[in-house]
Structure 1
Amino acid sequence: MPSLIAKTPLEGTWPVTHGGLTLAEVELTRVTSVSAPKVGRDLAAGLKALGVSFPKPNQFTGFDAVRMVWTSMDQAFMIGGDPSGLSGAVMTDQSDGWACLRLEGAGADQALMRLVPLDLRRDAFPPGAAARAPLNHMQMILMRLEPDCFELLVFRSMARTAWHEIEEAMKSLAARAGLV
């Protein structure tokens, strides 16, 4: 029986920095799709025990160990955390299907706005905001963690393409800053 070696979607890709922006892979432990047409008492109690709540549209709750990210009507992704204590929802393991990239530094919103058709300025997309949107031709789930820090969930199969697109936007901004 062959022995397989687990690898992250961007294995061997190191963090890159251009200008004041840094792009890095975030290794996901577990991603669970939680679908609940009605967030009942059992589900709410289970989420509360994990330190999160079911997010409102275009938001996420929690931060470090467990995060609930709105993904569509009546659906959220639980990142991290053990969903076994939850009841009152339909859950699906999504762990192997997604990659996570973190872009941080002054101007992160400017780099992403070259690729994403959303207003990502702080007033329009503050920390705690989430959106399901295209990144050029790929779908993603975008979260603003801090004023100058974003995380992007992209399909695992598109991780290297997303990395390339974001790095090119970073290089463009750095080159433009060098001209001023």
Structure 2
Amino acid sequence: MSDLHFPLEHVAVAGKGAGASPARITVSELRPTSFVQVGAWPETNELVASELAAVMGVEAPKAYCDARHVDERSLMLTAPGRYLAVSNRPGLHAELAARFKPEEACVTDLSHARAGVRVEGDPVVEILQKGIAIDFHTSVFPHGKAAQASLEALSALVHRRDETVFDLYVFRGFGLSLWHWVTDAALEYGYRVGDPVG
């Protein structure tokens, strides 16, 4: 695989910021080295979930829209039998592709195809609700949830890592649009750019 070039390197400069002071929001570019989609067949789903959990070192999500993470390793179930594995572990695609036979799962490397932003801070829900029609109350969307959602004209994968920490992923070509939307929405609370995550 060729070297990864992250799409927000030129704007996600740590230490920069804008808006109200002191800043209450931190915005950082997500830079995982591996973003892999694994599609299981109905009859192999249990096997695939078990193998993914072993490789990723996290419990396999059981229900649609569930996500599990340890440190910067995340495993999300985005549709029945469709898993997204996100990690800073190089070579994850090759490892998973070698582990599954075609009749067990389809493994696709999306590492060059996604851009991601982490948004964290006390008013993070208020910021996201400016553009995402999801009820983010913790009784409905607790940490460990992930869902595909519309954000303005973008399609974004939203992963709640903690009560005040969200990861947002979009197709790579929309990464700059996502960055501008998030930083604009955060202006009233003030934001600072954090170190890249990954």
Tell me which interval the TM-score lies in, with the shorter structure as reference length: 0.7 to 0.9
Q: Would the aligned equivalents of 1:55 and 1:61 in 2 still touch at CA under 8 Å?
A: no
Cα offset, 1:135, TM superposition: 1.1
Partner of 1:105: 121
Q: Would the aligned equivalents of 1:46 and 1:85 in 2 still touch at CA under 8 Å?
A: no
The secondary structure found in structure 1 opposite 2:49 is: helix
Counterparts of 2:99 and 2:72, CA distance in 1: 16
- Does residue 167 (structure 1) correspond to residue 167 (structure 2)? The answer is no
In structure 2, the gaps of 5 or more residues are: 191-198
Q: TM-score, normalised by structure 2?
A: 0.77
Counterparts of 2:35 and 2:98, CA distance in 1: 15
Partner of 1:148: 164
Counterparts of 2:37 and 2:148, CA distance in 1: 14
Partner of 1:37: 41
The amino acid across from 2:149 in the alignment is A
Partner of 1:62: 69
Structure 2 residue corresponding to 1:23, chosen from 27, 32, 37: 27
Count of paired positions: 171
The secondary structure found in structure 2 opposite 1:164 is: helix
Partner of 1:46: 51
Cα offset, 1:70, TM superposition: 2.0
- Does residue 135 (structure 1) correspond to residue 151 (structure 2)? The answer is yes
Q: TM-score, normalised by structure 1?
A: 0.85
The secondary structure found in structure 2 opposite 1:12 is: coil
In structure 1, the gaps of 5 or more residues are: 175-180
**Percent identity among equivalent residues?**
24
